[in-house]
Structure formats: structure tokens, C-alpha cells
Chains A and B, each alone.
Chain A
């Protein structure tokens, strides 16, 4: 199925929950509401014509200082899906505010989402509800803050963790 047809199918199925779609040089993107995200991801994963069996990447973007997006929801969580059976791809985005930065976990659909979501929590401070073990992945527990947030000072020094840890 080509990208335009995938987006058409999602719009038909989820209606207003698909907030926005666009494509850029053959990469198709659907921006969806947080409420519909679990159903939409499950649909992408389970339906035979879509069969997105690989979660290539799960990451986030901080739009705090992005020109034109300063007032909107601060974070965007991005899912890159790929289907081995059909060799097609889809990008799904969901927008969340800073004071309510929680997204439903996708671990049940793709086990690899476990570490991806831990990394997003580590770097951006976005939480994933339903995640089995949401700890920092790359940094250590004593680390203060989330370094890929745009308001994280680039020269901040963290307290060194002691030798007995």
C-alpha cells in the first residue's frame, strides 16, 4: 500500500483523531490525538493490509524554541513504523503539553518500545503510561533534568556519582 493510501485509510477509520497529515518526498506522516494513539497504533500493527510489524524508531522533539511553534504543545513523540511484509513505511506523531507529558506506552505492540520509551523519558522527560519499567536508559538515576530539552543549559555540571555506587 502506498503512503497516500495508508493515510487515506487512517483518516477514514479514525476521522478527526487524525489531526493532520502530510508527506514530504514520499515520507508520509499522520499526526494523531493522544486519545486515539493506542487504537491507531494497534490498527497499524494488526491489520493485514498495513502489517506494521517493525517499530524502527520512537523518539521525541522539543518545540520550545521552534519558530512558529513556541505556543503550541511543547513535545512531539514520533513513531517510525515499517512493514516487512509490504515494504512500506509510516510516521506517526502525537503532541503533548509540557505539564501533561504522558503518552500511552506501545510496549504491548512492539517490545522494542521498552527501551525507546525509556530513552525518551531519559532525554526529554516524557512519561509513558503502562510502561513496565520506566527508568532512565542511558543516564544514571542521580542525573538531574532531561538533557535534550531545549531549556537544559548546555554547560550545566551534574553532581558526580560516588565511587561506592
Chain B
């Protein structure tokens, strides 16, 4: 029993380490936060340093769903479908205050936080968040990926 659990835990760590440095994101960009996302992704801040340099434009090839910008009720089913198409393991980052809570769009058209539709792992507040906040959120996500129980 001791040997088995020892091995499982170590394999979990190795897989977590590998997964946290090979984040393939799906950028679901709908609004102005997209500019800040681009700034973070490009060479000046360079999220490739964190192994998150290659966005995939098919949800089937992505690990992390970056929801960047305001989500309206009309778009909600689209977001849900994109999330459902992603394969396990998958994570979700709510990028900007609109995706976290709806922001100041407290109105008839806007989803009041994407966690009413899909589960969210990391919230990055800000309107829009500065690249430093985004990188902070990304590192929190890496910590979470590395620490969780891995399924494989």
C-alpha cells in the first residue's frame, strides 16, 4: 500500500509540473480586454515564459479557456458550447471584471459573471486588468494545476 501511494503522488507531481508548463489556451475574446490580453501575450510581457505561448483556435485542442470580455445573454450558449467541446483536463480563466461579475454592465443584456454558466478556476479582476495582473492570474492557475489531483 505504501509503495503504491508513494508512486501515485510522485507521478501526480510530475504530470502537474508538465501540465502547468504546457497551457494551450483558447482565447474567447469579445471586448476591450482583448487588447490587454494581446499585450500580455506578445513579446513585452511574453506569456510564453510560462509555457502558455500558443493559443489554439479550436476548443478541442485547448486546455484553458480564457474568457476575455463582456458576455451577453445571447452569447452565453456559444460560450457554454465552446466549454463543452474542450477535452479534459480543462480550466477556465475569467479575464476582466465583466467576466467575473458583469462589471458595471448591470443591465438586461449582460451575463452577471460567467460562473453562472461554466465553472471558473481563476478570476482576474480589472477593467481591463494590467498585464501584471494577468501574469499573476496565470501563475495562480499554474499553482492550482500543479497542486490538484491529476487525472490521466
- Residues of A whose CB lies within 8 Å of any CB of B are 138-140, 143, 147, 152, 154-158, 160-165
Contacts and interface: CB of A to CB of B under 8 A. Distances in A.
Contacts of B116: 160
11 contacts: A138-B74, A140-B73, A143-B73, A147-B107, A147-B109, A155-B106, A156-B108, A160-B73, A161-B77, A163-B81, A165-B77
Contact of A154 (B74, B81, B106, B112): B106
Nearest to A162: B77
B111 interface: yes
A163 B109 contact: no
Contacts of B38: none
B60 interface: no
Interface of B: 73-74, 76-77, 80-81, 84, 106-109, 111-112, 116-117
Given A155-B106, A160-B117, A139 B80 contact: no
B84 A163 contact: yes
A138 B116 CA distance: 21
Which secondary structure dominates chain A's binding surface?
Answer: loop
In this complex, which of B74, B116, B117 has the most chain A Cβ atoms within 10 angstroms of its Cβ?
A: B74
A118 to B, nearest CB: 14
B111 A152 contact: no
A161 B108 contact: no
Contact of B77 (A143, A152, A158, A163): A163
A155 to B, nearest CB: 6
A37 to B, nearest CB: 29
A125 to B, nearest CB: 13
A155 B112 CA distance: 11
Given A160-B116, A160-B117, A163-B84, A139 B109 contact: yes
Given A139-B73, A143-B108, 9 more contacts: A139-B74, A139-B109, A147-B109, A158-B73, A160-B76, A160-B117, A162-B77, A163-B77, A163-B81
Contacts of A140: 73-74
Contact of A163 (B74, B80, B111): B80
Nearest to B81: A163
Nearest to B73: A158
Contacts of B107: 147, 154
Contacts of B111: 160
Nearest to B111: A160
